[in-house]
A and B are shown apart, each in its own frame.
Chain A
Amino acid sequence: MSDFLLTQIINYGAPILGAIVLIGAMGAPFPGTLIVIAAGAFAKQGLLTWYSTGLIALTCVVIGDNLSYAMGHFAREPVLRRFQDSENWIKAETTFNRWGGMSVFWTRFLLTGIAVPVNLIAGTSGFGFRRFFIYDLVGEAIWIFGYGGLGYLFGTQWEVVSDILSNISGLSLGLILLAIGIWLSVRQLKTRPQRNEVL
């Protein structure tokens, strides 16, 4: 898949890059980070103009993110009908409204694998659109210009950078899951003696 997309970018340039990141932001399993880094390298070679390509890609990816937020927003009614009275849903909604901004921000460029679910949850949980838009725009700007800039810096050796960044992303996700698991188990251990005392 990535080979085919790379060939299309060197043939047709920024519009194809824009289409790829837009569709990727709506949930298609495209290797977005690899494509953005490669685009940076192509810009260095003079195949793409870095500022216009960057702006097209940023506009497209933000549109894609907002469309997936909208999907979540329009699914809110049926979800609420089903879970409105659920204590867990209310807790999840409150938690997302508290931490959602950071979730949106970090999933734009570091934990990109869970960006689409975060968009959907943001839309469904009633997370404010303006807040979503600002965090999304800043995070995606880092993704496009930061990662694209690394591709520009490393030129024809961009594949090594792409490997490193995708490994950092996977490593971060693993460490976050591990931290949540440890935090939950510590909380369980803390509540257990209290239960015993009550008994």
Chain B
Amino acid sequence: MSPGKQRILVTVLIVLGILLAGFFGLRFFHTFRELRRHGPPPVPPLASMEDAPAAETDVELIRDWMTVPYIAMTYHVHPKVIFDALGISPRGNEDKSLAQLNEEFFTQSPGLVIELVKATVQAHQPTPTVESVPPSAP
């Protein structure tokens, strides 16, 4: 390889390397902060490892690619409740994603299905109970 071509190759490698490292480095920093904010969920005690996982409660984690039965399983809500809220029959629609259901049944209102599902799931979350605190000694 001629010295001129070598110099071009070196320049391209260095510039590309800096761009990639800078771009992904910044994104890494940003998502790492996100992760620290969320933190890994606590590891359940060994005795409860065999049981079914606890229900998810954060409806903001619902995505367009999810299906109604999957959401129902994740949030411990009966699928019929969600289908009823959408006004759609479960038959033939159970393996369709929320995006597909939106396209098929609510073409004029993009994003409607996911919002309806979020609201329905939220409405069926168990209300938090306040643990009784023993009265403090006088």
- Chain A interfacial positions (CB closer than 8 Å to B): 2-4, 6-7, 10-11, 44-47, 88, 153-157, 160-161, 163-164, 167-171, 173-182, 184-185, 188
Contact = CB atoms under 8 A, between A and B. Distances in A.
Given A167-B27, A182-B14, A6 B53 contact: no
Interface in B62-88: 63-67, 70, 73-74
Contact of B28 (A153, A161, A168, A176): A168
Interface of B: 1, 3, 6-7, 9-14, 16-25, 27-28, 31-32, 34-35, 38, 40-41, 43, 52-53, 56, 58, 61, 63-67, 70, 73-74, 95, 97, 99-100
Given A168-B28, A184-B13, A174 B65 contact: no
Contacts of A154: 40-41
- The A interface is mostly helix, strand or loop, or mixed, namely helix
A167 B17 contact: no
B10 A171 contact: no
B21 A174 contact: yes
Contacts of A171: 20-21, 24-25, 28
Contacts of B21: 171, 174-175, 178
Contacts of B58: 156
Contact of B35 (A7, A164, A179): A164
